[in-house]
Structure 1
Amino acid sequence: MSTSTSSKTVLVTGASSGIGEATARRLASLGHSVLVGARRTDRLTALAEELRADGMSVAHRELDVTSLQSVQAFAAAAVREFGRIDVLVNNAGVMPLSPIADLRVAEWEQMIDVNLRGVLYGIAAVLPQMRQQGGGHIVNVSSVSGHRVDPTAAVYSATKFAVAALSEGLRQESQDIRVTVVSPGFTQSELTHRGGSAEAQGAAREAAAQLAIPASAIADAIAFAVQQPAAVDVNELIVRPTAQG
């Protein structure tokens, strides 16, 4: 299958670790210009300096996806640095698992703010530029939890189901903007290391230790979608470990 080999400007959120970092590495290695964003600027700086030392085109900027102003500034920085925005990878996410009965309302709000509102803010920040250019590609990282619901993951799943619905609506409304949803299964990341109930997060870490695929596997899936010709829109990719039930 033929693929697009032209260099693109790519924005990656949540790029300080996990899938975001792996995606930045993969797309930069393919010759794309990449702007990475996250709250942990020390990690961003190290990543950008490492990739630039290898001759890749990478810039970095502090980013809080729960702030529309921060996301808009991130998009504006990409235009200043590279002149355009071809691809947005909405990757930033949190997953503090717990039973609903625990009533961890602050963590519910955090998941809604990062996993859903952050995706909406990303779309709002780049869509005008993409429309002006006459094209673009928005990649939203969801989860297999956007296709099924498990105990302790109800709120997390709700945000990921919402991302799928939002993505499909955007796809149907767009004639020149490609939209891809990538749904990872158990993947090596730091998602299970913050928040949630100790029992639920421990069970998730144990399962991940047995099953998780490397973040580079998801990065490869994203790269596959990005590299397709402009007329080809890969709408949905589910990538999980072979052994995952």
Structure 2
Amino acid sequence: MTSKLHGTVAIVTGASSGIGDAAARQLASQGARVAVVARRKERLDTLVSSIESDGGTALAVTADITNRAEAEQAVKTVVDRYGRIDILINNAGLMLLGTVLDQDVTDWERMIDINQKGLLYMTSAALPHLLEATTTGPREVADIVNISSYAGRVASPNFATYNMTKFGVNGFTEALRQEVTQKHVRVGVLEPGAVATELKLHNSEAIQQQLAAAEAENIPELLEPDDIADSITFMVTRPRRASIAELWNMPTSQA
């Protein structure tokens, strides 16, 4: 039986760990040639080797997508290698928590750079190729999936700037969906709840302990990266006639 994504090319950002790593593996297992994009080259190389040992095809692209030139070059590298792009998974993200009064403004700038600017740069560079794929690709449809968050729906203390970035991702995704989905570039937003990833590890030890205590009390069973990768795969493997605009995937104890 032919894999659902046979003949396609997918880009996954933030692929050096967590959701991005899991998504790359699942898309490759469905037949996509997967370009994995992140800053940590050694991790990308390990991921590519693993995908290839499982019979898939993958390309490591080391880039800092908060730099517009590097994001554009990453897209060019993929097109130069594979000749096309059918799927873009904007997964790269950063969550730095703290009160508005006390948090370092540099942390805000870092989140805006990766959560919003990186997503914008990758989308802008990839979109012409995605539109082309709707007429030349094996499926005659292309996909963008933007990874937002539960924090893109619900605001909370200590999450203010992270909330802002993810609410913005939701708004951008919906506007872009209205612009291009009827041209068969499907645009959807995926909003995970609490997932067992490295995301919270960029915070101070004190905040990590607060998060761990809150999760232990309120969310005893977190989602795993594969749970979100399942949702990504579901969104991009729908028949051409079906488009998933929004998918909210939560731990049962958090929903």
TM-score (norm: length of structure 1): 0.94
1:13–1:63: 8 Å Cα contact kept in structure 2? no
Q: State the SS of the aligned residue for 2:89.
A: strand
Separation in 2 of the partners of 1:171 and 1:186? 26
Q: How far apart, CA to CA, are the structure 2 residues paired with 1:83 and 1:60?
A: 16
Opposite residue 187 of structure 1, the aligned amino acid is V
User: Structure 1, residues 179-211: CA drift from partner, whole Å, max 9, x if none?
Assistant: 01000000010011113x543332223444633
Name the amino acid aligned to 2:26: R
Task: Determine the structure 2 residue equivalent to 1:37.
Answer: 37
**Structure 1: runs of 5 or more not aligned:** none
Distance 1:230 1:200 in 2: 44
Given that 1:51 and 1:58 are in contact with CA atoms closer than 8 Å, whether structure 2 keeps it comes out as yes
Taking the TM superposition and a 5 Å limit, the aligned residue runs for 1:1-245 are 4-134=4-134, 135-174=141-180, 175-176=182-183, 177-195=185-203, 197-208=204-215, 210-244=220-254
Secondary structure, aligned partner of 1:37: strand
Q: Which runs of 4+ in 1 moved over 6 A?
A: none
Task: Give the direction of change, closer, same or farther, for the CA distance of 1:40–1:227 in structure 2 (3 Å limit).
Answer: same
Change beyond 3 A, Cα 1:65–1:55? same
| 1:12–1:88 CA contact under 8 A, matched in 2 | yes
1:80 Cα deviation after fit: 1.5
Counterpart-to-counterpart distance in 1, 2:72 and 2:212: 34
Distance 1:22 1:80 in 2: 25
TM-score by length of 2: 0.90
Shift of 1:222: 0.3
Letter in 1 for 2:9: T
Query: Does the 8 Å CA contact 1:97/1:201 hold for their aligned counterparts?
Result: no
Percent of aligned positions that are identical:
40
CA distance in 2, matches of 1:40, 1:180: 27
The answer to which of 121-130 and 34-43 deviates more is 121-130
Contact map agreement 2:4 2:30 (CA 8 A) in 1: no
> Which digits, 9 at most, give the CA deviation of each residue in 1:217-238, with x for residues without a partner?
0000000001011221111111
Aligned residues: 242
Larger RCO: 1 or 2 (CA < 8 Å, sep 6+): 1
Task: Tell whether the 8 Å contact from 1:38 to 1:64 is kept in structure 2 after alignment.
Answer: yes
Give the aligned residue type for 1:189. T
In the aligned structure 2, how far is the partner of 1:43 from the partner of 1:219? Answer: 18
